[in-house]
Structure 1
Amino acid sequence: MTALDLSRLITAAADTIADHAEELTALDQAIGDGDHGLNMKRGFEAVRAEADLFAAKPLPDALKAIGTKLVMTVGGASGPLFGTLFMTLGKEIPAGPDRASLTVAFGKAIEAVAARGKSQVGQKTMLDVLQPVHDALAEGKTAAEIADIADVAAKATVPMKALRGRASFLGDRSIGHMDAGARSTALLVRTVGQAIGEDA
């Protein structure tokens, strides 16, 4: 991935979050604090503002820097979680990753997010999208297929009962709503897939 590619990817991710900020806020208003969309938009706008600076770095360093920026600017529970995802990816990924090394690094990043959030798959969180995406990556699925899998996984959080985060306070009332973090994760997965290309 060239610096120009990474800069364009950062811009695309920020655009995606901005375009869906109201949707993410509405999802979070139903079972959370109601600030997920606004917080994510603020964080990714901050990353966009330094896109060229990040893109000039080697990929591992760029990912770690992006993660740090998200921790500092997103706020709430999402900042540390999304920040941990990117920072761990940066720590684990080689400068010129292939699918195998990306899969391994992504798996480590998911483990770090689970540890940070003290959560696991099935508890109505972003992990419910991240793990199926990792599995699809390991199975050799195309970028388009992985994006579709992420969308299906986000929708699958609707009937779940939240067991972590603020939504867990609602108990059974959390059932029937999509998790905002799962939705934003799926949106970012599709954006990355489209940027990388159908054959990735």
Structure 2
Amino acid sequence: MSENAARRLSRMFQLISVAIDAQQDHLSDLDGAIGDADHGITMSLGFAAVNSELSKLDLDHTLPSEVFSAAATAFLNAVGASTGPLYATAFRKAAQALKPLESLSPADQAIIIEAIAIGIKERGKGQRGDKTMLDAWIPAAEAAAEAASRRATTAEMWNSILAAARDGANATRSMVAARGRAARLGERSLGHMDPGSASAVIILGAMRDAFTEDHVSRPH
């Protein structure tokens, strides 16, 4: 890669923050239909805090796992709502999964997605079909694992990941919420996309951009 792994991850978190900020009102509107109408604000605050914390690191002497550990702490400190612990746990899982690694090959990138999905699932005690962010993250993780197993190029893998996440998020419209604040609505949650799954797609899109920026014309 043209830059070290820690700088690539820092760039990734910057792109996530920009993308979330751009969709902040949309995410809060989605949340307004079935929640507290603050999901966009919450996510924006969380990733702004992450980038503030990462700006303090010496990225030339920082491991990928340390970037995710710093992100986990910063996100949790900034976001007290349920989303905070979920993504903090997700980033800690990613840190643990990357511990022995100093590179970010396509296989390593797939490991990150899988670790994030596992972290969210373990912390939230949820599953696919509950109408939560897992409806995007679990399909994304499955697509990542499948792409890595067939040694897909970086671009191919991320296209598969994003397509799976988008399909998963869109599917939440036909689900009745089983977890979170939306579960209080019962059948009234039908017809609305889960805001957590919508923000997961935005995050994954920014991650794809970060990992494919210099891989557009050549396989990794």
TM over 0.5, yes or no? yes
The superposition leaves residues 114-167 of structure 1 with CA deviations (integer Å, 9 ceiling, x where unpaired) of 121121111001111111111111121421232222222211111111000000
Q: Which residue of 1 aligns with 2:21?
A: 18
Q: Which residue of 2 aligns with 1:85?
A: 90
Moved more, 97-106 or 126-135: 97-106
Structure 1 vs Structure 2: percent identity of aligned residues? 34
Q: Which residue of 1 aligns with 2:177?
A: 162
Task: Give the alignment partner of residue 200 of structure 2, picking from 181, 185, 191.
Answer: 185
Q: How does 1:104-119 map to 2 (within 5 A)?
A: 104=111, 106-119=113-126
Q: Which residue of 2 aligns with 1:9?
A: 12
Q: Which has the larger radius of gyration?
A: 2
- The answer as to 2:148 corresponding to 1:133 is no
- 2:173 is paired with a residue whose SS is coil
Q: How many residues align?
A: 200
For residues 72 and 142 of structure 2, the distance between their equivalents in structure 1, rounded to whole angstroms, comes to 23
For residues 153 and 47 of structure 1, the distance between their equivalents in structure 2, rounded to whole angstroms, comes to 26
Q: CA deviation at 1:51?
A: 3.1
Q: Which residue of 1 aligns with 2:51?
A: 48
For residues 10 and 180 of structure 1, the distance between their equivalents in structure 2, rounded to whole angstroms, comes to 20
Moved more, 173-182 or 89-98: 89-98
For residues 120 and 33 of structure 1, the distance between their equivalents in structure 2, rounded to whole angstroms, comes to 22
**Are the counterparts in 1 of residues 10 and 67 from structure 2 also a CA contact under 8 Å?**
no
The change in CA–CA distance for 1:163 and 1:106 in structure 2 (over 3 A counts) is same
**Are the counterparts in 1 of residues 114 and 142 from structure 2 also a CA contact under 8 Å?**
no
RMSD: 1.9
- 1:95 is paired with a residue whose SS is coil
The superposition leaves residues 63-87 of structure 1 with CA deviations (integer Å, 9 ceiling, x where unpaired) of 0110111111122111111111111
For residues 143 and 48 of structure 2, the distance between their equivalents in structure 1, rounded to whole angstroms, comes to 29
Structure 1 gaps, min length 5? none
The superposition leaves residues 60-116 of structure 1 with CA deviations (integer Å, 9 ceiling, x where unpaired) of 011011011111112211111111111110111233243444434543442231121
Q: Which residue of 1 aligns with 2:166?
A: 151
Moved more, 8-17 or 106-115: 106-115
Task: Give the alignment partner of residue 186 of structure 2, picking from 171, 184, 196.
Answer: 171
Structure 2 gaps, min length 5? 148-155
